[in-house]
Amino acid sequence: MHKIFQSNRYCINLLQQLKGVRHPQFTDRGNNQKSYFMKILIIANRLPVKIERTDDSFIVKRSEGGLATGLGSLEIDAEMHWVGWPGIHVENEDEKREITEKLAALNYHPVFLTGEEIETYYEGYSNSTIWPLCHYFFSYVQYKAEYWEAYRRVNGLFCEEALNFIDDNDIVWIHDYQLMLLPKKIRDNRPNVMIGYFHHIPFPSYELFRVLPEREEVLKGLLGADLIGFHTHDYMRHFISAVYRVLDLNCNLDEICLQDRIVHVDAFPMGINYEQYHQATSLPEVKKISKRLIEELGDQTIILSVDRLDYSKGILHRLEGFANFLENHPEYHKKVSLAMIVVPSRDAVERYADLKTQIDQSIGKINGIYSTLGWTPVYYFYQSFPFNELVALYDIADIALVTPLRDGMNLVAKEYLATKNRKPGVLILSEMAGAANELTDAIIINPNDTQEIESALLQALTMPGKEQRLRLRNMQKRISTQTVRKWANDFIAELLHINRQNNEIFQKIVGEQQLSQIKERYDQATARLILLDYDGTLSPFTKRPEEALPSGKLLHLLKRMTADKKNKVVINSGRNRQVLDKWFRGIDLDFAAEHGAFFKENNRWYRNVQEKITWDEEILGILEHTIDKTPRSYLEIKESTLVWHYRNVDVWLAELREKQLINALMGPASRLNLQIVPGNKIVEIKPPETNKGSEVKRLLEKGNYDFILAIGDDTTDEEMFRALPPDGISVKVGSFSPTAKYRIPVQSSVIPFFENLIK
């Protein structure tokens, strides 16, 4: 029984092959690391520093956030540089110079922003357009031409500064939504460097992303990277969906095929420095603060929440849930308090300033109603806490209440769990945080349902110690292995792997050197066999197959090729006999039609398959049903094959229907000994005996050639490439082929290639 499921996913095949061969890990590279690259350049909106102005100077303090810690622990021997905004507004040139010199000692390179740029690029496009869009706050999105202009301009400033430090072989790792145009800008200037981009916030569904007027430029900007990382598979999926819908690019699962390289997309959930938090409760300073807090709070149960002031964090929903809880559970009055840390953030953005007022009012109301002389229901801190104080709060808190309406990851949830060393605690976590994907032993809530917050609080307050410890252990197991160090190392390892893979693939592109090698062999040959696929190779892919008529230029080329008596030129196509005869009338070509089911030699057609097939009712029924459910798809009935075409169907729907169709056809196809072949925007049902390769084999048995060249763009052409002898020349048109020796990235280069060859 012949049943072959060929994948049309060249890139995946290739990836699998290459993965089988070698998957470089840092340790693989032994002592040769320096030959791979010399520097890693991190570019993020903010430098990991705090700069304080003194009377006559500046003090620069490193601020080791999660990112800096992770990158600091990269298992890679390379010089590390950072480019970013120093977080301080300075206009005076002498002051800028002084700060630049101080930062240079740390390998940090500042991009200074003017007041106007902070307003339009940072508060504007970054935090009033992209941030609300990515966090599903559609009605908060503000479009202003000057925001977009500034965003572009400032991305350009980051690029200019970064270019001062980038050499070929360097790694550039760009972070976050403030710099989405930067990967392309750097690629345009330094085509050979490895570029990674990590998106720290959610990437919204296409339906939301599409509203962005600059969606195309933003996506193209990101595609300058070789690797694009997200916290979760959902964000990754949304991004790929936006790419194929907005840019109409060829995407194969986690790969986006561009003309000159593949961009990979993957999920890398960011972790924390687990040990730092886990050991923190043994620090004398932390112990002291914890003790003081316990004394001050008495034996109250403490619910803790920690976030930047941001509408995405669901602070008002949390307060409403807590207020409901107090109203409905008076038995917990004087026994439970909510300690709420709200770190000031982006307060020049109107929405943030408004939210601050609403939070103040809500807390005022709750405390006004329920406070007693000895009990404050909500302790509210509108300030940032240093590490020791924060971990002391994590340590003493019985419950962490994390309720974002959307959050890229949420590191606070992980930090709370990691700190839990001395005594257990319960995490209540919103399902809308990226962290919820990993922390499945938390009490997961939908923060929009304030009743659910209320019942989660009750569940947490009554959870037996044994269950708390079990849940905690499970989650600590995960976060202690998926650390920020692993996150950074995984990302860079993948970037190196992709770079190597892209280099291997792209060595095959037919450039001047490759052309002259092929031409030399062509010129020396005495008997040549030239096998040509038609659609997508000799003719561009059109909306309707009947529109893909040969151009005058092509017909002229074929006449010249066939005029040379040393050439046997065969069009090896999936098209039927009638079309080939009609389109190439008067040219001395041979044909193979319907994937080798028929062939024409010396002006006569022969068949390799039985008489015209009467198609089985069940198969026709399945196809009909698929067409009914898939607008703009249609069936082509040929003499020996049935083809379901879906080139005009939405990509997502087509993918779904393709899978469903193949599943449904499997039974009848195996009963009737038919082969199902997925191709480029088609699924073909055909007898298994013939394919484009069987036709090549037949031709090779009959003739003796000293130059054999096959060219094609589709999966079905792989059979043709595989059937060539070892010295045969296989040329893939378009994206990658696991088999072909050469590649011509675009169809429009095919005719010029042959014109040069026969010149």
Ligand X SMILES: O=c1ccn([C@@H]2O[C@H](COP(=O)(O)OP(=O)(O)O)[C@@H](O)[C@H]2O)c(=O)[nH]1
- When asked if residue 409 is in the footprint of ligand L263DTV3 (CB under 6 A), the reply is yes
Both tokens of 431, joined, read 């399902």
Q: State how far the alpha carbon of 180 is from the alpha carbons of 190, 198, 220, 496, 718, in Å.
A: 17, 10, 9, 21, 37
* Contact characters 32-51, ligand L263DTV3, x per CB under 6 A: -------------xx-----
Give dist(CA 195, CA 184) in Å, integer: 9
Which of 137, 385, 541, 615 is the binder for ligand X (CB under 6 A)?
A: 385
Length of the chain counted residue by residue: 759
Query: From ligand X, ligand L263DTV3, none, which one binds at residue 176 (CB under 5 to 8 Å depending on kind)?
Result: ligand L263DTV3
- When asked if residue 390 is in the footprint of ligand X (CB under 6 A), the reply is yes
Least distance in angstroms from the C-beta of 345 to ligand L263DTV3: 5
- When asked if residue 345 is in the footprint of ligand L263DTV3 (CB under 6 A), the reply is yes
DSSP letters for 398-455 = SEEEE--SSBS--HHHHHHHHHTTSS--EEEEETTBGGGGT-TTSEEE-TT-HHHHHH
Which of 247, 343, 656, 757 is the binder for ligand X (CB under 6 A)?
A: 343
Query: From ligand X, ligand L263DTV3, none, which one binds at residue 395 (CB under 5 to 8 Å depending on kind)?
Result: none
Q: Which of 176, 533, 535, 714 is catalytic?
A: 533
Give dist(CA 183, CA 188) in Å, integer: 9
| Torsion sign (Cα): 224, 226, 231, 236 | positive
- When asked if residue 488 is in the footprint of ligand L263DTV3 (CB under 6 A), the reply is no
Least distance in angstroms from the C-beta of 437 to ligand L263DTV3: 12
Which of 200, 317, 600, 692 is the binder for ligand L263DTV3 (CB under 6 A)?
A: 200
Query: From ligand X, ligand L263DTV3, none, which one binds at residue 346 (CB under 5 to 8 Å depending on kind)?
Result: ligand L263DTV3
Query: From ligand X, ligand L263DTV3, none, which one binds at residue 495 (CB under 5 to 8 Å depending on kind)?
Result: none
Rg of the chain taking only CA atoms, in angstroms? 32
Give dist(CA 569, CA 584) in Å, integer: 12
| Torsion sign (Cα): 244, 249, 252, 254 | negative
DSSP 8-state symbol, 336: E
Q: Is 449 in the active site?
A: no
| Stretch near ligand X under the rule CB under 6 A, chosen from 140-148, 403-411, 520-528, 750-758 | 403-411
For residues 3 and 675, the answer to whether their CB atoms sit within 8 Å is: yes
Query: From ligand L263DTV3, ligand X, none, which one binds at residue 392 (CB under 5 to 8 Å depending on kind)?
Result: none
Give dist(CA 254, CA 12) in Å, integer: 9
Both tokens of 430, joined, read 């919103």
- When asked if residue 176 is in the footprint of ligand L263DTV3 (CB under 6 A), the reply is yes
Give dist(CA 644, CA 540) in Å, integer: 19
- When asked if residue 341 is in the footprint of ligand X (CB under 6 A), the reply is yes
- Beta-carbon contacts of residue 389 (< 8 Å; ≥ 6 apart): 289
Give dist(CA 407, CA 135) in Å, integer: 7
Query: From ligand L263DTV3, ligand X, none, which one binds at residue 271 (CB under 5 to 8 Å depending on kind)?
Result: none
- When asked if residue 392 is in the footprint of ligand X (CB under 6 A), the reply is no
Least distance in angstroms from the C-beta of 176 to ligand X: 10
Of 201-220, binders to ligand L263DTV3 (CB under 6 A) are 201
107: left (phi over 0), alpha (psi -120 to 50) or beta: left
- When asked if residue 142 is in the footprint of ligand L263DTV3 (CB under 6 A), the reply is no
What is the set of active-site residues? Answer: 533
Binding footprint of ligand X on the chain (CB under 6 A): 66, 306, 308, 341, 343, 384-385, 390, 409-412, 415
Binding footprint of ligand L263DTV3 on the chain (CB under 6 A): 45-46, 176, 200-201, 270, 345-346, 407-411
